[in-house]
């Protein structure tokens, strides 16, 4: 029996159209727009002004606190504007817009594609290099990586878990990266193990990627302490808590982090980026983005510079399909719908999903028939129907005791509801209010 | 203005819907319906048609003229209530009584609570109990199987459960009573007297397989009811086999299978969590056997379900799912 997590979960159609497409390098766009806040935490502080010349890999905004990350220029050229532009959240965010001219890198970056296996850095040196590179969680959560690598006093990491689940339907960025950069990912894993001072690393890969499981297992055989585990396909297995439970059967307590059960988890894309940062001194200026959808002519995976407008990616797959109803930054379960193709690719953009108009709108909402399907689908053991009705009546205090803050916003409840109730919309509303209640209580 | 739809995640849906689920249950009832038509002929056809049509019609009329809310009469839930109501009535019941039952089911048990999703008690069972109290004679005379062209004029008799309870009251030992009963095979195939849709054990079990396969229901409620009945009646009959009939007899007769598979699993009136479903199932099993064994009526499954329906809000309030990462105290 393949391992998986125990509570809840759903099985959306996988639709991984681009899973065997090679990663193509998307041409550098003429203009990039790089937001200063591409991560969870404080926005970075801008270091450049309009008219400045910048190089590829130059820090254009520095980390604004411990939980923050550096931002680098992904092109060489001239700063056109430093002002607020809409990003994929729909809000306007302070950004640096740069016109690309030439191909000039900062000094010290190793641009060769040679595999560099050996390293001799201490844990602290690795963390410093990661901080310098601006690495954040590339699975979509965008949590600054160095924060996870800095183990708090009194806690100890035992395992590094490499999250290669890619449980979101349609997305194949991590899959294609493993197939093409397996060796580099293994080096990256050893680097992260060293940084965390752990002896054991486990890859979690869902069983719908047999070629990746096979390849990574073969590569892992040569390494000490690295194992690869095939998992039964079930959404949201890529949720950190679900993955930790599936792999080592430890339950991260409510309100706690994986480190509280001795685990630090990184997305496989972040592991690859760590390799680039440590072995090649290359900051995070590009990432793999899947561009896909049912009507998309040629679903593909692109190595894309941060700040590239979504439009450029859409053009690269044969243009926007006629029947487009919605464009999502990310996967269909947790991604954000964007209102314009001008918004830029950011560090957390794992995919661009084009949804045809026949599927873009929700069904009409019906009465809750108390079928309990949302309860059995919830991976956190919550009662979404109840949380929604509490939110409707504004009983936010009761929502807190019903554990609304444990909700990981995976969307399994709304996905599964036969009455098409907007469960997660109301739960988010409740979470917002409960956050305020908790904050007020602390002050 | 953007030409794209911008709405919060998730952006995909399972495609599941209320009509799909309701008609799924209807499909699961079709084998039992076919067998019942085979045994009770024209009577089964008439009461089923009257019940389904009246339920849908009453739902339409109530929503249109009284509640004035969007009409849901075709979502399958009213048709399902109609089908289930017919299934727990004798096949020779006068059609107008059937229509009254439908009126009570839809008008009182469903619509006064605010329609689908808000009622506390299973509408079909409320309709049945109302008829049982109002027309006790008609509701306890059952046609013998095999009279295709007889409806209200069919010859009637007593059900196996009725015979059992009466003979036990006259101090006959179980072995002697069983000698006069249809064989276990006949009971399994449904060749006995009983409510129109409850007789065919094998067809109802087929329906259960379909419901589980299509993931329309989970196993927890039917299995916990049936297991409870088996354990409870098994213990009684082991203690005194001449006073208490065997678990098999209990399983194959009366409305137990129909109730456990189709009535107790009604979404609206059953608990929301796995633990809650099991408590509810055990409760139904115990109460059913208590009524059958020690109560005034030979059959108790309908009352047992209604009673546990009444406890469902309480169960939902206090029985919570296992939360992920619950901090274990003590
Ligand atoms: S979105 Fe929240 S409430 Fe809904 S299934 Fe996921 S964790 Fe549960
Ligand atoms: S899935 Fe929808 S209809 Fe079913 S209980 Fe949850 S909210 Fe109600």
Query: Do B25 and B69 reside in the same domain of the chain?
Result: yes
Domain that holds residue B75: 18-139
Give percent above pLDDT 70 in chain A: 100
Query: Do B120 and B185 reside in the same domain of the chain?
Result: no
Question: Would you call A382 and B75 a contact, using CB atoms and an 8 Å cutoff?
Answer: no
Distances (CA, A) of A296 to A301, A348, B7: 13, 22, 21
User: Which three-class secondary structure state does DSSP give residue A403?
Assistant: coil
Residues 6+ apart with CB under 8 A from B198: B87, B88, B204, B254, B255, B257, B258
From first to last of the 330 residues of chain B, give the pLDDT tens digit.
457 888 999 999 999 999 999 999 999 999 999 999 999 999 999 999 999 999 999 999 988 888 777 778 888 999 999 999 999 999 999 999 999 999 999 999 998 888 888 999 999 999 999 999 999 999 998 999 888 888 888 888 889 999 999 999 999 999 999 998 999 999 999 889 999 999 999 999 999 999 999 999 999 999 999 999 999 999 999 999 999 999 999 999 999 999 999 999 999 999 999 999 999 999 999 999 999 999 888 899 999 999 999 999 999 999 999 999 886 643
Residue B292: CB atoms within 10 Å? 26
Residue A345 forms part of a structural domain: no
Q: Is the C-beta atom of A370 inside 6 A of ligand 2?
A: yes
Distance from Cα A338 to the centre of ligand 2, integer Å: 28
Query: Do A87 and A130 reside in the same domain of the chain?
Result: no
B274 lies within 8 A of chain A by CB: yes
Query: Do A51 and A86 reside in the same domain of the chain?
Result: yes
Indicate the number of domains in chain A: 3
Query: Do B37 and B132 reside in the same domain of the chain?
Result: yes
Query: Do A77 and A157 reside in the same domain of the chain?
Result: no
Query: Do B97 and B174 reside in the same domain of the chain?
Result: no
What pLDDT digit, counting tens, does each position of A171-194 carry? 999 999 999 999 999 999 999 999
Query: Do A96 and A140 reside in the same domain of the chain?
Result: no
Chain B residues in contact with A381 (beta carbon < 8 A): 321-324, 326
B171 lies within 8 A of chain A by CB: no
Residue A116 forms part of a structural domain: no
Kindly report the nearest CA distance between residue B180 and chain A, in angstroms: 43
Query: Do B177 and B306 reside in the same domain of the chain?
Result: yes
Question: Would you call A254 and B323 a contact, using CB atoms and an 8 Å cutoff?
Answer: yes
Would you state the pLDDT for residue B330? Answer: 39
Closest Cα partner for B160 from B204, B126, B201, B127?
Answer: B201
Question: Would you call B6 and A373 a contact, using CB atoms and an 8 Å cutoff?
Answer: no
Q: Report which bound ligand comes closest to the CA of A427.
A: 1
Query: Do A276 and A150 reside in the same domain of the chain?
Result: yes
Domain boundary among A262, A280, A298: A280
Q: Pinpoint the alpha helices (H) of B5-76.
A: 18-61
Please give the span between the terminal C-alpha atoms of chain A, in angstroms, as a whole number. Answer: 50
B318 lies within 8 A of chain A by CB: no
Residue A132 forms part of a structural domain: yes
Q: Report which bound ligand comes closest to the CA of A431.
A: 1
Domain boundary among A65, A100, A135: A100
Query: Do A194 and A139 reside in the same domain of the chain?
Result: yes
Domain that holds residue A142: 123-280
Q: What is the CATH number for A82?
A: 2.40.50.100
Tell the residue number behind the tokens 């909700």, with chain if given.
A407
Distances (CA, A) of B241 to B173, B186, B229, B234, B235: 8, 22, 16, 9, 10
Query: Do B303 and B256 reside in the same domain of the chain?
Result: yes
Residue A36 forms part of a structural domain: yes
Kindly report the nearest CA distance between residue A219 and chain B, in angstroms: 34
Distance from Cα B146 to the centre of ligand 2, integer Å: 43
Query: Do A127 and A262 reside in the same domain of the chain?
Result: yes
What pLDDT digit, counting tens, does each position of A315-349 carry? 999 999 999 999 999 999 999 999 999 999 999 99
Q: Is the C-beta atom of A389 inside 6 A of ligand 2?
A: no
Query: Do A151 and A95 reside in the same domain of the chain?
Result: no
Domain boundary among A100, A115, A150: A100
What CA–CA distance (Å, rounded) separates A282 from A295? 36
Beta strand A286-293 with A351-356: parallel, antiparallel or unpaired? parallel
What CA–CA distance (Å, rounded) separates A171 from A164? 12
Indicate the number of domains in chain B: 2
Please give the span between the terminal C-alpha atoms of chain B, in angstroms, as a whole number. Answer: 57
Would you state the pLDDT for residue B1? Answer: 42
Q: Minimal Cα distance from B71: which residue of A?
A: A366
What pLDDT digit, counting tens, does each position of A21-63 carry? 999 999 999 999 999 988 989 989 999 999 999 999 999 999 9
B317 lies within 8 A of chain A by CB: no
Which of residues 389 through 418 in chain A touch B, CB cutoff 8 A? 403, 406, 409, 411-412, 414-418
Kindly report the nearest CA distance between residue B258 and chain A, in angstroms: 19
């Amino acid at each position: 029996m393949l391992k998986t997590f125990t509570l809840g979960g759903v099985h959306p159609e996988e639709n991984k159209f681009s899973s065997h497409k090679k990663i193509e390098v998307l041409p550098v766009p003429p203009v990039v727009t790089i937001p200063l806040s591409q991560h969870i935490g404080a926005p970075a502080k801008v270091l450049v002004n309009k008219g400045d010349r910048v190089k590829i890999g130059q820090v254009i905004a520095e980390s604004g606190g411990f939980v923050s990350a550096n931002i680098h220029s992904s092109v060489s050229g001239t700063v056109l504007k430093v002002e607020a532009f809409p990003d994929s959240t729909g809000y306007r965010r302070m950004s640096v817009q740069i016109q690309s001219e030439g191909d000039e890198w900062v000094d010290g970056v190793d641009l060769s594609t040679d595999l560099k296996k050996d390293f001799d850095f201490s844990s602290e040196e690795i963390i410093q290099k990661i901080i310098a590179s601006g690495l954040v969680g590339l699975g979509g959560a965008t949590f600054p990586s160095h924060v996870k690598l800095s183990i708090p006093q009194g806690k100890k990491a035992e395992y590094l878990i490499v999250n290669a689940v890619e449980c979101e339907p349609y997305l194949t960025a991590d899959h294609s990266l493993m197939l093409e950069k397996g060796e580099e990912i293994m080096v990256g894993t050893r680097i992260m193990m060293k940084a965390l001072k752990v002896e054991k690393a486990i890859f979690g890969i869902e069983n719908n990627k047999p070629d990746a499981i096979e390849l990574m297992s073969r590569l892992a055989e040569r390494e000490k302490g690295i194992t690869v585990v095939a998992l039964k396909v079930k959404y949201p297995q890529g949720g950190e808590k679900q993955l930790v439970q599936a792999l080592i059967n430890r339950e991260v307590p409510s309100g706690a982090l994986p480190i509280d059960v001795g685990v630090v988890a990184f997305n496989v894309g972040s592991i690859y980026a760590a390799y680039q940062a440590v072995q090649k001194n290359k900051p995070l200026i590009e990432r793999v983005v899947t561009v896909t959808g049912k009507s998309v002519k040629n679903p593909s995976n692109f190595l894309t510079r941060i700040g590239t407008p979504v439009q450029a990616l859409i053009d690269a797959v044969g243009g926007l399909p006629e029947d487009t109803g919605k464009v999502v930054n990310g996967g269909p379960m947790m991604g954000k719908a964007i209102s314009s193709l001008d918004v830029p690719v950011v560090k957390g953009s794992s995919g661009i999903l084009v949804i045809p108009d026949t599927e873009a709108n929700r069904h009409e909402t019906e009465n809750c028939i108390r079928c309990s399907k949302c309860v059995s689908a919830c991976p956190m053991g919550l009662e979404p129907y109840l949380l929604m009705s509490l939110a409707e009546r504004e009983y936010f205090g009761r929502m807190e005791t019903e554990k609304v803050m444990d909700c990981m916003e995976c969307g399994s409840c709304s996905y599964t509801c036969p009455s098409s109730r907007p469960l997660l919309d109301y739960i988010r509303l409740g979470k917002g209010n409960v956050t305020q209640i908790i904050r007020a209580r602390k002050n | 203005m953007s030409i794209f739809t911008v709405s919060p995640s998730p952006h995909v849906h399972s495609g599941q819907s209320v009509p799909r689920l309701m008609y799924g249950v209807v499909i699961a009832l079709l084998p039992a319906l076919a067998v019942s038509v085979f045994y009770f002929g024209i009577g089964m056809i008439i009461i089923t048609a009257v019940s389904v049509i009246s339920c849908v019609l009453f739902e339409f009329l109530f929503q249109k003229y009284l509640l004035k809310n969007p009409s849901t009469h075709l979502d399958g839930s009213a048709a399902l209530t109609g089908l289930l109501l017919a299934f727990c009535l004798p096949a020779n019941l006068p059609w107008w009584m059937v229509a009254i039952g439908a009126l009570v089911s839809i008008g009182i048990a469903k619509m006064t609570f605010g329609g689908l999703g808000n009622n506390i008690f299973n509408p079909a069972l409320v309709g049945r109990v109302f008829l049982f109290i109002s027309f006790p004679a008609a509701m306890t005379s059952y046609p013998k199987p095999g009279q295709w062209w007889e409806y209200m004029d069919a010859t009637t008799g007593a059900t196996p459960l009725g015979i059992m309870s009466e003979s036990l009251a006259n101090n006959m030992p179980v072995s002697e009573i069983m000698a006069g009963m249809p064989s276990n095979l006949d009971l399994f195939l449904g060749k006995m007297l009983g409510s129109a849709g409850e007789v065919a054990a094998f067809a109802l079990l087929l329906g259960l397989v379909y419901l589980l396969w299509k993931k329309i229901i989970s196993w927890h409620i039917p299995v916990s009811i049936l297991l409870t009945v088996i354990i409870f009646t098994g213990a009684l009959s082991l203690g005194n086999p001449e006073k208490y009939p065997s678990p098999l007899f209990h399983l194959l007769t009366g409305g137990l299978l129909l109730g456990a598979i189709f009535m107790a699993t009604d979404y609206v009136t059953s608990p929301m969590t796995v633990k809650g479903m099991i408590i509810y199932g055990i409760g139904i099993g115990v109460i059913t056997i208590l009524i059958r064994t020690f109560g005034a009526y030979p059959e108790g499954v309908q009352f047992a379900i209604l009673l546990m329906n009444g406890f469902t809000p309480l169960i939902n309030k206090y029985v919570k799912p296992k939360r992920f990462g619950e901090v274990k105290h003590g």
